[in-house]
Amino acid sequence: MLCRKGNRFTTTEHQHPCDTVLPLNNPLPSSFSVCIVGASRGIGQSVALSFAKAGAGNFILGARTMEQLEVTRSHILQIKPDAHVLLQDCDATSYESVTRLANAVPNGKLDALIFNSGFSGPVVLRITDTQPSDFQTAFDVNVQGTFNAAHAFIPLLLSTQEGAKMFSVVNSMASWIVDGPIANAGYCISKLAQNRLVEYLSNQYEKEGLFVTSIHPGAVATDMAKTAPEEFKPYLVDSVDLCGHFMVWLCHHRKDIQWLSGRFLSAKWDPTELLEKREQIVEKDLLKARMDVQ
């Protein structure tokens, strides 16, 4: 079956985390160190809690709002009281700010970098009705921000001995659409560019052990989703925990899934079915951006 937008790549899709991806079934060592850019609320906060539930003991959290980061830290410590949680204000669009966050990583030891910062802006369906500043901001956050994080953090990931070497970005199935009620050009095109950047990173650093992925978190009713049209909001029914649990599952199975590097994945996909598609994915080099020519 040809599936151009990525939905239904696995026959089974999940609105809530299945047992396979539950953190308790995918434990991580207490020495595990994860940095999350955009960890103050919503999906980013939930990702942090998923890693805490899996046993990770070291967190470096960045966001523009320190007060909200404090809330994330308190939730982490409720789950894992002995965790080390470092907070740093961070503007993903500023390379200097992202570099300060990277420099704050204790001893430069890092297993995973999660880039969750994102900008959607008002959902406007025609280019001529779109504010140029909103279009620019989408690229500043979603693309330049990802570049900034890669430039600052990949050296840490690669230099950490026996680390997971995981660089993951929270992306969106919207990166593959060109029409419909949420086809906001700035967001959709910048997210497609983010996918392509992930492919570049994997191509350049995979031989050094880096594992890079774009992950669709599901249709989640986060604060950023408030800009979605009313007709789309009934579809925002997926659990906020899908993305974090899926990332933990990837980290737990890290040594066996290098073949997924550079690809677009969905936290809604059934993980067992995804692994069963390994031969097809590798042989046809699926889950990447391509120009279709016949």
Q: Which residues are catalytic?
A: 187, 191
- Ramachandran assignment for 265, one of left (phi > 0), alpha (psi -120 to 50 degrees), beta (any other): beta
Question: How far apart are alpha carbons 104 and 60 in whole angstroms?
Answer: 8
- The Cα-based distances of 237 to 13, 225, 234, 268 in angstroms read 13, 12, 7, 12
Check: CB of residue 156 under 8 Å from CB of residue 108: yes
Q: Is 290 exposed, middle or buried (0-12, 13-18, 19+ CB in 10 A)?
A: exposed
Distance between CA atoms of residues 265 and 80, nearest Å: 28
How many Å apart are CA 249 and CA 242, to the nearest integer? 11
Query: Helices marked H in 104-165 — which ranges?
Result: 132-139, 145-159
CA dihedral 125, 131, 137, 139 (to 10 degrees): 50
